[in-house]
């Protein structure tokens, strides 16, 4: 674990030169997510029932209990491995992550925002320029910001393109393994929330991988509430438009959290 001074971090719009570093960061941050999702699906009652039926049929053909059990599981895992990446590339979005990193760096206008963490160490923006840079141009693939400290990318956050007025969606948040539990993820989310609040957003959704207890706890600490737990959600027509990403047999791949700004 590396001690990180948040007032030294610049959160800026991703550039073309950052693409490979962002891809590597996403690969590191998502390591194991796909396997946990596959395990989650394989252990659902309906899926177990289907596997049991196919195993029973194969038992009569191959005359081997082990093969009859292993073949359906193996084929299903291969199928999920092939079809899963597009769903888990950018959670809550039909676009894979490479659509984002390949196009979202293109922008024409930047805005510099104040970094709230510059107050922690007693430094002021006048003595040391610490900025959060974002782009005002909305692209079809969404937007990506990276946390930059002296040229090293420490984390990134993906924001889906605007599809509903006043609504924003966080569909990927990744921090480097050496900089976790240092407040970097909180800084990325809060900086994005501040910017979206100033542009008129009233609610932010965040999609978290279904088996991720860490991601769930993180957003709850930031004041987010899981969709389906609110008492007044039935009367909110807008919330009905936000649904979890679903995979094989309709099993949910994500949990949806939201916060009113």
pTM to 2 decimals? 0.77
pLDDT of residue 93: 65
pLDDT of 224 > 90? The answer is yes
Summary mean pLDDT of the chain: 77
pLDDT band of residue 13 (cuts 50, 70, 90) is: confident
* Average pLDDT over every residue of 28-52: 84
Q: Are strands 203-209 and 167-175 parallel, antiparallel or unpaired?
A: parallel
Residue with the larger pLDDT of the pair 7 and 15: 15
Cβ atoms of 158 and 179 closer than 8 Å: no
* Average pLDDT over every residue of 247-257: 82
For a pLDDT cut of 90, what percent of the chain falls above it? 10
With vertex at residue 240, the alpha carbon angle to CA 103 and CA 160, rounded to the nearest 5 degrees, is 10
In sequence order, what E strands does the chain have? Answer: 10-13, 110-114, 131-135, 143-149, 152-159, 167-175, 203-209, 225-226, 254-260
* Average pLDDT over every residue of 220-237: 81
pLDDT in tens, 102-132: 666 655 445 544 566 665 444 444 333 334 3
* Cross-strand pairs, 175: 155
6-18+89-260 has CATH 3.40.630.30 classification: yes
Domain residue spans of the chain: 6-18+89-260, 33-88
Would you call 251 exposed, middle or buried from its count of C-beta atoms within 10 A (0-12, 13-18, 19+)?
A: middle
Would you call 13 exposed, middle or buried from its count of C-beta atoms within 10 A (0-12, 13-18, 19+)?
A: buried
pLDDT band of residue 74 (cuts 50, 70, 90) is: very high
């Amino acid at each position: 674990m590396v001690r990180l001074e948040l007032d030294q971090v610049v959160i800026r719009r991703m550039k073309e030169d950052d693409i490979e570093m962002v891809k590597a960061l996403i690969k590191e941050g998502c390591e194991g997510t796909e396997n946990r999702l596959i395990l989650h699906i394989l252990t659902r009652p309906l899926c177990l029932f289907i596997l049991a039926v196919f195993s029973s049929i194969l038992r009569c053909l191959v005359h081997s209990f082990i093969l009859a059990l292993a073949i359906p599981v193996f084929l299903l895992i291969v199928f999920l491995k092939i079809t899963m990446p597009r769903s888990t590339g950018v959670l809550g979005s039909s676009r894979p992550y490479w659509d984002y990193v390949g196009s979202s760096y293109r922008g024409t206008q930047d805005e510099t925002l104040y970094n709230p963490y510059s107050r922690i160490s007693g430094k002021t923006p006048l003595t040391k320029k610490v900025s959060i840079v974002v782009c005002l141009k909305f692209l079809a693939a969404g937007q990506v910001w990276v946390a930059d400290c002296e040229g090293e990318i420490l984390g990134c956050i993906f924001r889906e393109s605007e599809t509903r007025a006043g609504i924003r969606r966080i569909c990927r948040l990744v921090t480097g393994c050496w900089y976790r539990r240092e407040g970097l993820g909180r800084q990325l989310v809060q900086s994005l929330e501040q910017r979206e609040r100033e542009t008129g957003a009233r609610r932010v959704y965040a999609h978290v991988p279904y088996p991720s207890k860490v991601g769930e706890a993180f957003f709850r600490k930031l004041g987010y509430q899981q969709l389906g737990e609110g008492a007044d959600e039935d009367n909110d027509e807008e919330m009905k438009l936000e649904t979890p990403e679903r995979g094989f047999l309709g099993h949910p791949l994500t949990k949806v959290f939201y916060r009113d700004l």
